Structure 1
């Protein structure tokens, strides 16, 4: 039964043993705490981050509104730039806000359009140009990614803290071993012949 043997080996720090040191008990509690914080804290951090991001995206969808705007300049079609995936250019547009005032600003539009063309732009609650809010699918994917990143970051910090604590315990054990060897070692130094 290999699994029972592995379990006994894994739990050696918890068993009564005359060779067990106080540092071994401290290390076992550190390992247990690290795994508990990793499991529970990672899930909580991931869920809280994903929920917060989802709320931000929902708020953006609620307050950003599409508006029809008129291009003020021609948007030349240029050759594809290296590293770009879309052919969009920044240009000046004019639009009317919900309170009836006319505004101008710069935004990204598709290349190749002529001045006077009508395009759809997005404005925030204050009438300023902004980017389009993510749709629910994009928001869910990004929220999930942010939650997973938060959980991984917390896990990395927890494991790093546990590794530092275990390293300090190892140094302490080595120092204790050196002190004990300094007491016992000279007695072993005599020659037998």
Structure 2
């Protein structure tokens, strides 16, 4: 014979259903958990999307502003040890800016490159040396990674706040149970006959 089973109630809705044993603190805790999860999910998604969009927009702006410019090495690049073949070293270069002025600076080139060798450098609108901008696919990857990290961080704030409030409610509820037990517990020792 199968045991009697009452109506099936979703466990996660137990705090909202009618129950004579449900206290006000149970309903408050249910709403706190609900609001914390809503803010956790929405906050994480919105923060992640906003951060990813901002990073991708910034990198696209860099791609639009930065230009590759031919330059010449003005000195021999230092040589690397044999074990480090294919490494890059810093060397002095000279290039002509967009306004026609001659500029000089240091950039990374292959080790052992001789003076007078043409190299490509990247400049900003003012003609200063800058790093090569990220490609569109690199920008998408960086924006995605930053978006995920920002989203997780943004979701962590309401999640942690909800956990702290819920922990405080739990401590308060346990203190109330202790008070009730001190009042009711001694009555259990009395004989009723």
Count the aligned residue pairs.
184
- Residue in 2 that maps onto 1:122: 122
Quick check: 41-50 or 134-143, which moved more? 41-50
Q: Which of 72, 75, 88 is matched with 1:73 structurally?
A: 75
Q: CA deviation at 1:113?
A: 0.7
Name which of structure 1's ranges 180-189 and 48-57 shifts more when overlaid on structure 2.
180-189
In the other structure, the counterpart of 1:154 is 154
Of 36, 46, 56, 1:34 maps to: 36
Q: Work out the CA distance in 2 between the residues paired with 1:184 and 1:73.
A: 92
Which residue number corresponds to residue 107 of structure 2?
A: 107
TM-score (norm 2): 0.87
Q: Is the 8 A contact 2:73 2:118 kept in 1?
A: yes
What TM-score, normalized to structure 1? 0.87
Segment of structure 1 superposing worse, 39-48 or 96-105 = 39-48
Give deviations 1:72-128, integer Å, cap 9, x for gaps.
2222331356xxxx7111221111101111111112122221111110000111111
1:189 to partner: Cα distance: 5.4
Give the number of the structure whose alpha-carbon radius of gyration is greater. 2
Within 5 Å, give how 1:169-188 maps onto structure 2. Answer: 169-188=169-188
1:16 corresponds, among 15, 18, 22, to: 18
Mapped partners of 2:94, 2:138: distance in 1: 29
**2: distance between equivalents of 1:190 and 1:72?**
101
| Cα distance in 1 for residues equivalent to 2:51 and 2:179 | 49
Q: CA RMSD in A?
A: 2.1
Name the residue aligned to 1:46.
48
